[in-house]
Amino acid sequence: MIKKLFRQMLLTQILSSMTVMLCMLIDSIMIGRFLGVDSMAAYGLAAPILLVFAAMGNMISAGIQVVCGKTMGSGDRKGTNACFSVSVTMAAAISIIGVILVIVFTPQICTMLGASKPELNREVFNLTEDYLRGFIIGAPAFIFAQIMVPYMQMSGNRTRLVVAVGLMTVSDIIFDALNVLVIHGGTFGMGLASSLSYYIAFFIGIAYFFKKDCIFHFRPKRIKMKVCAALVKAGIPTLVNQISLVLLTLVLNKVLLDVGQKLAVAAYSVISTAGNICYSFSSGIASVALMLSSIFYADEDRNSLRDIVKTMAFYAVVICTAVTAAVFIGANVLVSIFLDNPDAEDLAINGMRLFVLSLVPCAINTCFKNYYQGIDRVRLSIFISVLQNFVFTAICAFVLSRFFGTTGVWVSFVCGEVLTMGAMSVYVFVKNRSFEISSKNYSLIGDDFGVSDDDCFEQSITTRDEIVRVSAAASEFCQSHGLDRKLSNVISLCIEEMSRNTIDYGFSMDDKEHSIDIRLLIKENDPVLRIRDNCINFDPVRYMETHKDDENDSTDDSSMHMGIRMVMNMAQKVKYVNSLGFNNLTMSMWKDPKDGESGEGTGTGRHEWRRRFKRRGKSAEQKRA
């Protein structure tokens, strides 16, 4: 299931990771081709501010993936809405403050970025100011577009994401072309074109959150400081990662100005912009790993977490090797799209080929960094971020540039990633006291996490004929773990009823391939049953609340709800959540039904349980026989 789920999410997540970078790429191409080297240098100097806003958006987005992933994984609707409400409020506050600061302090910010250095002319300073003023108009949409991505992924709205990114890209190309060919708005116009494109993506995405079937709801009363603190804490590794990138950009710009002046800075702008698109592949894979690891960590699913490690490493190596080969071979063509200056082109082509050699180790580092963030190893994630995106690369650039000039700077990317991968591996080996390269070691999930394999029953159902076999196997599993025969049969009945209902009414709704995943855990001798399917959204808890008046209905229509009602009444606690396009129903069963009380779902107590079980239990046993 993990591989299939990974594949389903991967394309849209990669495209979503490009949301910010595509406009930067298009701007870079148009500026380099039509506005000249001075404008390209100004764009490169402005990049750290763009990265600061990206850092804030990514911090909230990562916090959403971790916090909301856990609340949805545990079926906590109130917690999910609290996360949504707080994240929207945080994004609005950051946007407003950021816009005000940049508008008021634009000259001071440009000076801080190095645009006033003596080796640069005054025109570069003015062009940097212009681009920042155009870009800042779209900062709110820029940030909100980033935080909408995880919510739409979790709700399964992947098509809308693709449409939003596609229209944003087309719009930016059109607006940039109008700016350079018709309006002649310079770098201000380029920044404004990006802003308008971000708003287009924003409005396409936000339409989902006003639909009736939206699973996220803004609730002002849910806005609490502890939720805000949880989001920030969960997103700190990503914020540290982005801040490290900003600092690295500032350091590399300074080093390049010393060894190659503005031509080297212009070349680095090309490498950085094209490199960000290349990074979108690794960050897309890593984002899927973060989201899935958060959900399955909350579900205490040790085997799925180890499968995530294997799957993300596989895709990181395969996809990024292909990207490396493509960029290395096509470096000449790629750079010529950006620049029309022979000296700057030569620097950029050499740098591009050396830079892309870092993509595979970078993808591996980034995936593990996000995975560790998802399983609450925040310090390790921060440690990897700082080493990868600042310490090792900056030190290597400073040292190697003294011997090899600009080439030393380009080589520093490879050195930084390889050193980071080595440091991470040393940590893993020491932690596990084993030098084995395996998903078990690198997952950093011990055998004491969750329940043991012996206490976990997992089966999949794809046809109606498999229902009886799986339900009978579940009953045998329960009895082998000391549960009494009645409770074992109750659990078996729940599997039968819900699976049959899903196949009859869910599988036939479309032509897609469907399956039902059954996971039964014995936790401290108490059984917990989870039923997951990839059919259309269906919440049986809410369904029974809607039809609760039918329970005493004497007409034949009341029998339509009997199977679901019986399951709801048999469980002590029932939670439903739709995440990643999957229906997830989790039921805590009564350890001793004869002593049970009414559950948190729609249960009506032990008398109802006994009455329903006597009526349905015997027929189910006959079917299995």
Q: What is the CATH number of the domain that holds 459?
A: 3.30.565.10
pLDDT for residue 617: 45
pLDDT per residue over 301-348, tens digit each? Answer: 888 888 999 999 999 999 999 999 999 998 888 888 776 677 778 888
Both 464 and 346 in one domain: the answer is no
Q: Which of 3-12, 51-60, 305-314, 498-507 has the lowest mean pLDDT?
A: 3-12
> Among candidates 382, 72, 119, 348, which has minimal Cα distance to 216?
72
CA distance linking residue 605 with residue 596, whole number of Å: 7
On whether residue 11 sits in a domain, the answer given is no
Reported in sequence order, the residue ranges of 107-196 that DSSP labels E, i.e. its strands, are: none
Both 285 and 381 in one domain: the answer is yes
Both 439 and 458 in one domain: the answer is no
Q: Is the pLDDT of residue 1 over 70?
A: no
Number of structural domains in the chain: 2
The residue among 410, 443, 476 that closes a domain is 443
pLDDT for residue 561: 61
What does DSSP say about strands 526-533 and 516-523: parallel, antiparallel, or unpaired?
antiparallel
Q: How far is CA 286 from its chain centroid? A: 7
pLDDT for residue 619: 42
Both 402 and 459 in one domain: the answer is no
On whether residue 10 sits in a domain, the answer given is no
Range of the domain at 436: 20-443
Task: Name the DSSP letter for residue 183.
Answer: I
On whether residue 273 sits in a domain, the answer given is yes
> Among candidates 495, 499, 570, 584, which has minimal Cα distance to 538?
584
> Among candidates 84, 54, 91, which has minimal Cα distance to 68?
84
Do residues 15 and 161 lie in contact, with contact meaning Cβ atoms separated by under 8 Å?
yes
Q: Is the pLDDT of residue 8 over 50?
A: yes
Q: Which long-range contacts does 500-508 make (Cβ < 8 Å, 24+ apart)?
A: 500/464, 500/467, 500/563, 501/563, 501/564, 502/531, 502/533, 502/535, 502/538, 502/583, 503/461, 503/463, 503/464, 503/467, 505/538, 506/533, 506/535, 506/536, 506/538, 507/535
Both 194 and 99 in one domain: the answer is yes
On whether residue 8 sits in a domain, the answer given is no
Q: Is the pLDDT of residue 552 over 60?
A: no
Q: What separation in angstroms does the CA of 229 have from each of 97, 221, 233, 234, 569?
A: 19, 16, 6, 8, 37
Both 227 and 376 in one domain: the answer is yes
CA distance linking residue 322 with residue 14, whole number of Å: 15
Burial class for 598, CB neighbours closer than 10 Å (0-12, 13-18, 19+)? middle
Task: Name the DSSP letter for residue 463.
Answer: S
Nearby residues of 370 by Cβ (< 8 Å), 6 or more positions away:
62, 286, 287, 289, 290, 293, 381
Both 478 and 573 in one domain: the answer is yes
The residue among 394, 416, 443 that closes a domain is 443
CA distance linking residue 1 with residue 299, whole number of Å: 15
On whether residue 9 sits in a domain, the answer given is no
Do residues 393 and 423 lie in contact, with contact meaning Cβ atoms separated by under 8 Å?
no
Both 365 and 500 in one domain: the answer is no
Q: Is the pLDDT of residue 586 over 80?
A: yes
Nearby residues of 8 by Cβ (< 8 Å), 6 or more positions away:
158, 581
Question: ∠ at Cα 372 (368, 373), nearest 5°?
Answer: 115
Both 499 and 407 in one domain: the answer is no
On whether residue 2 sits in a domain, the answer given is no
Q: Is the pLDDT of residue 358 over 90?
A: yes
Q: Which of 87-96, 116-125, 472-481 has the lowest mean pLDDT?
A: 116-125
CA distance linking residue 583 with residue 496, whole number of Å: 17
Tokens of 447: 């055998």
Both 465 and 341 in one domain: the answer is no
On whether residue 4 sits in a domain, the answer given is no
Q: Is the pLDDT of residue 57 over 70?
A: yes
Q: Is the pLDDT of residue 601 over 70?
A: no
Both 412 and 486 in one domain: the answer is no
The residue among 443, 467, 484 that closes a domain is 443
On whether residue 144 sits in a domain, the answer given is yes
Both 528 and 470 in one domain: the answer is yes
